[in-house]
């Protein structure tokens, strides 16, 4: 069976470069599953989990938005950040979640609510990967 080469890169450097049978990810238009021989595609990704299948095993990555490109069985994900479950610091993510929630509940005018919402999504995404 043909496989997909998946490469994930962030501003901090490469996170992953391996072959998988299938990848499932959340785009701005909903969840998609990609197998070998998929048509070329470029799409934004949500702050979400990317799931990767190799044989009977599934792997996960927490990605912070970015873009996914599919071309000739090569998948490239460029994201602001991407972490494997074992790299996620739960205490840090919990603190980030609490900080974002406090900001969202605050009545202060100088709060950037959109920024706080994104921070909350990132923290919840990281925590959900550890569950």
The site for ligand ATP (CB under 6 A) is made up of 12, 64, 81, 83, 87-89, 92-93, 96, 119, 122, 126
Closest CA to 34 of 20, 22, 42, 16: 22
Cα separation, 46 vs 15, in Å, equals: 18
Closest separation between CB of residue 99 and ligand ATP, Å?
7
Q: Report the residue number, 87 or 117, with the smaller CB distance to ligand ATP.
A: 87
Q: Report the residue number, 72 or 117, with the smaller CB distance to ligand ATP.
A: 117
Closest separation between CB of residue 38 and ligand ATP, Å?
27
Closest CA to 77 of 20, 117, 1, 2: 20
Cα separation, 77 vs 68, in Å, equals: 4
Number of H helices, E strands in the chain: 2, 10
Closest separation between CB of residue 81 and ligand ATP, Å?
4
**37 backbone φψ class: left, alpha, beta (φ>0; ψ -120 to 50):** left
Q: Report the residue number, 31 or 87, with the smaller CB distance to ligand ATP.
A: 87
Closest separation between CB of residue 24 and ligand ATP, Å?
21
Q: Report the residue number, 41 or 90, with the smaller CB distance to ligand ATP.
A: 90
């Amino acid at each position: 069976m043909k496989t997909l080469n998946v490469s994930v890169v962030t501003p901090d450097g490469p996170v992953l470069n391996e072959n998988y049978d299938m990848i499932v990810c959340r785009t701005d238009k909903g969840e998609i599953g990609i197998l070998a021989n998929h048509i070329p595609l470029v799409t934004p990704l949500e702050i979400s989990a990317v799931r990767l299948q190799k044989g009977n095993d599934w792997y996960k990555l927490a990605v912070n938005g970015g873009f996914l490109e599919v071309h000739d069985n090569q998948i490239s994900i460029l994201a602001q950040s991407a972490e494997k479950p074992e790299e996620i610091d739960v205490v840090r993510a919990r603190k980030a979640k609490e900080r974002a929630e406090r900001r969202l509940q605050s009545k202060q005018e100088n709060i950037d609510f959109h920024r706080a919402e994104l921070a909350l999504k990132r923290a919840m995404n990281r925590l959900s990967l550890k569950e």
